[in-house]
Amino acid sequence: QQKVQQSPESLSVPEGGMASLNCTSSDRNFQYFWWYRQHSGEGPKALMSIFSDGDKKEGRFTAHLNKASLHVSLHIRDSQPSDSALYFCAAPNYNQGKLIFGQGTKLSIKP
């Protein structure tokens, strides 16, 4: 049973545009979330984490968390071709110290 669901599966955005990625959890035990990015041929790399309701901004990236609805989103403004990658939402399982990943969103930035 997938406890972290991502949408859309793939997304194409023009260079300079805004990309919006979504993630919903079905487990209220998840208290915070991570966003990871994976470029082709590489391992995933953490972008940012979000613990509190509301927005968290880091450069061109803004995460938004709504704990009541267990929804987290990632918005990338002024998208660059280097942002083309797989993006994963992940929730930590506190008891076991593991990350539960969503199935990923493939983002393509078109020049």
Size of the site for another protein (CB under 8 A): 21
Compute the least distance from the CB of residue 100 to another protein, in Å. Answer: 7
CB of residue 31 to another protein, shortest distance in Å = 10
92: contact with another protein by CB under 8 A: yes
The reply on whether position 111 binds another protein by CB under 8 A is no
Tokens matching residue 108: 């393509």
Using DSSP's 3-state secondary structure scheme, residue 46 falls into strand
> Judged by CB under 8 A, does residue 7 bind another protein?
no
Question: To 10 degrees, the CA torsion angle through 67, 69, 72, 76?
Answer: -120
Contact 94, 29 (CB under 8 A): yes
